[in-house]
Structure 1
Amino acid sequence: MQLSTVILPIHRWSEGQKNWRLAEDLGFHTAYTYDHLSWRTFRDGPWFGAIPTLTAAASVTRTLRLGTLVTSPNFRHPVTLAKELISLDDVSDGRVTLGIGAGGNGFDATVLGREPWTPRERADRFAEFVALLDRLLTEDSVSCDGTHYSAHEARNIPGCVQRPRLPFAVAATGPRGLRLAARHGQAWVTTGDPKLYEHGTPEQSLQAIRGQVEKLTAACAAEGRDVAELGRILLTGFTPDRTRPLESLDAFVDFAGRHKELGFTELVIHWPIPDSDFAVDEKVFEQIALEAPDQLR
C-alpha cells in the first residue's frame, strides 16, 4: 500500500515550497493539492491555484509524484485544461496524476456567476468532460461538437510525457461516475460515504466503502475490464474516524490495514494545518510517513 499526502495551497510559495520538499524527503508516493478557487473554512484566507502550485512543486522535487485531488468541470474546460496538463507533465518529467471528479455545489459552482448545475446536468457534463479530455491528451488534433464541451482543431503536440497519456484517478461513488472510472481511469478515488461523516461509526464506514468497491467491480465487469487494473485511493479525513487515525502510528496502521483488506492501494493523508480540521501532531505525522509504509507491506 502506498502512502500519499495532500497539501492545501494556502501558503505563499516562499513558505509553501518547504512542505513539498519535505513530502519528498519523507518518502510520500504522491503529493496532491485541491483544485478549487476557494474551499470551505479556508475561503477568506490565502488560496493559490492548483496548476501553478504543482508546476512550482515540480521544480523543487525530483521523484515525488504530483497531482490534483480533484479537478472538476466547475470552472474548467477540457481544451484549456489539457494544454496546462501537458505542460505540467513535461515540466515534471512525467510525474503527474490527474485526480478528477464531477465537483460539488460549493463556492466553485457559483463563482462564475451561474446557478449550480442539477445533479443530472453535473453527471452529464462530467461524462462529456472526461471523454473529451481523454482524447485531447492522447491525440495530436481534436475536433468535437458536444452538448456541453466542444473543440475545434485543438492541437496538443507533443502530448504527454507519460504514454498514452497521464493517468486519471476518477473520484466517483454513483453508477455513472463508477462507469467513467472503469472506462477511463487508471485509479478510482473515494472519501467514503459522506452520509456517515457526522453520526456514523468506523464499522458502518467500512461496510459502506465495501459496497462502493463491489459496485466498482461490477462497473468494470460491464466495461469488460479487470478491476485489478485500477488503483484504489482513499482520501482520508472524511470518514467517521476523522483525524483519529493520525493520533498515533499504531492507530494509523490499524486504520490503513482495515482498508487494505478492502483492496485499497493508496491512502492519502492531509498535511497538518494548525487550528483547522487537519490539525494533527507534526511529529506523529512524520513518524507515520516514515514508518507506516513498511508495516503495511
Structure 2
Amino acid sequence: MHLSTVILPVDRWHHGGRDKWRRAEDLGFHTAYSYDHLSWRVPFRDGPWFGAVPTLTAAASATERLRLGTLVTSPNFRHPVTLAKELISLDDVSGGRITLGIGAGGNGFDATALGQEPWTPRERADRFGEFLPLLDRLLTEDAVSHRGTFYSADEARNIPGCVQRPRLPFAVAATGPRGLKLAARYGQAWVTTGDPKLYESGTPEESNAALRVQAEKLDKACADIGRDPAELGRILLTGFTPHRNTLLESVDAFVDFAGTHRELGFTELVVHWPIQDTQFAADQQVFEQIATEGLAQLDR
C-alpha cells in the first residue's frame, strides 16, 4: 500500500507553496496531488486558489523523486486537445512522474465559470465518455483527427508524446456503471471518495460496505472486457467518509484505518495536507508522523 497526499493550491509559491511540495518529498509520500478546479468550496471559495497545471509544473522543478498528479481533472473547463498538450509538457518537465487523476466532474463552481449552464448528470457522463477515449489517443498518437458530439480535433499533433510509455497513467474517478467501465478500459488506477450519501450521517461500517460494493462493481466491469482487475491500482481519497474526523488524530487511528482499507483491496490512500480552520485541519506534527511511520507500523 502507498500513502500519498493532496496539497491544495492555496499558497503563493514563494510564501509556503514550494516548501510544502519539497516537504512532501522529504516525508516519503508516494505521490503529491493537487485539485484541478478554478475555485472550490467555502472557505476556499473566497481565498487564494491557483491553477493545477502551473503549480504541478513548479512542483516538478522543485522535487526529484515525488510523483505528482491531479485529483481530479474533469471536462468542466477542459478540452482534450489543449489538456493533452499541457500533460505532455508536464510529463516532460517532471521526467515522467505525472499521474492524471480524472473524472466526469460535478455541479460545483467549475460547472458554470465559463458562462454555461451546468450539465445534467447524463450529459456529464456522455461528455466524459467521449473525452477520455479522445485524450487517450491524443497522448499516444502523433497526430489525431476526430469529429465527435462534444469534442473534435483536426490533426492535433503531440510530438514527442509522453516520457512515460505508452502514455502517463490515468487514475479514473468513478462510482457509477458508465464511469467504472471507463476506469476498467482506460485506467491504470481507480479513484473513489466513498459513498457521498454516507458523508453526514453514515457509520464507518456502512462506508466500508459501500466501498466493498464499489470495488465489486469495478471487478465486474473488468471481467466484462476480459481485463484482470489486479492490473488496476485502487486509490481512496480520504476526508469524505465517516472516518474523516478521526483518521489523522493519531498514528494508531491511521493504522487501524489503513489496515481495514487494505483488506478492502485499496493500494493507495491519499490524505489532505493539513489546513487549519478548514475541514482538513489536523495536527501537523501528527500528520508528519503518520507520513513517516504509519505504513511501517501497519506492516509490523
- Is the counterpart of residue 34 in structure 1 residue 35 in structure 2? yes
Superposed displacement of residue 295, structure 1: 2.2
3-state DSSP class of the match of 2:247?
helix
Share of identical aligned residues, percent?
80
Q: Mapping of 1:108-123 within 5 angstroms? A: 108-123=110-125
**Is 1:221 equivalent to 2:212 in the alignment?**
no
What amino acid does structure 2 have at the position aligned with 1:20? W
Equivalence map 1:167-246=2 (5 Å): 167-246=169-248
Alpha-carbon deviations, 1:44-89, whole Å to 9, x = none?
A: 1000000000000000100000000000000000000000000000
- Please tell me the residue identity of whatever aligns with 1:18: D
User: 2:104: which partner in 1?
Assistant: 102
CA distance in 1: counterparts of 2:94 and 2:243, whole angstroms: 34
- Find the counterpart in structure 1 of residue 264 from structure 2: 262
Question: Which whole-Å CA distance do the structure 2 matches of 1:169 and 1:262 have between them?
Answer: 18
Are the counterparts in 2 of residues 243 and 278 from structure 1 also a CA contact under 8 Å? no
Of residues 271, 274, 281, the one that matches 2:273 is 271
Q: Distance in 2 between matches of 1:265 and 1:142?
A: 34
The SS at the match of 1:245 is coil
> For structure 1, which runs of at least 5 residues remain unmatched after alignment?
none
Cα distance in 1 for partners of 2:100, 2:286 equals 29
TM-score between both structures, scaled by the size of structure 2: 0.98
- For the pair 1:25 / 2:26, whether they are aligned, the reply is yes
Amino acid at match of 1:24: E
Could you list the per-position Cα deviations for residues 241-284 of structure 1 after superposition, in whole angstroms to 9, with x for gaps in the alignment?
11311000000000011000011000000000011000000000
TM-score for both structures, normalised by structure 1: 0.99
* Per-residue deviation, 1:13: 0.2
**Mind listing any 5+ residue stretches in structure 2 that lack a counterpart?**
none
Task: Write the deviation string for residues 75-131 of structure 1: whole angstroms up to 9, x where unpaired.
Answer: 000000000000000000000000000000000000011111011110000010000
1:247 aligns with 2:257: no
Q: How many residues in Structure 1 have an aligned counterpart in Structure 2?
A: 297
CA distance, structure 2, for counterparts of residue 277 and residue 12 of structure 1? 20
SS in 1 for 2:115: coil
Looking at structure 1, the residues matched to 86 and 247 of structure 2 have their Cα atoms a distance apart, in angstroms, of 35
Contact kept? 1:69, 1:98, Cα under 8 Å: yes
Cα pair 1:243 1:280 within 8 Å, conserved? no
**1:139 match:** 141
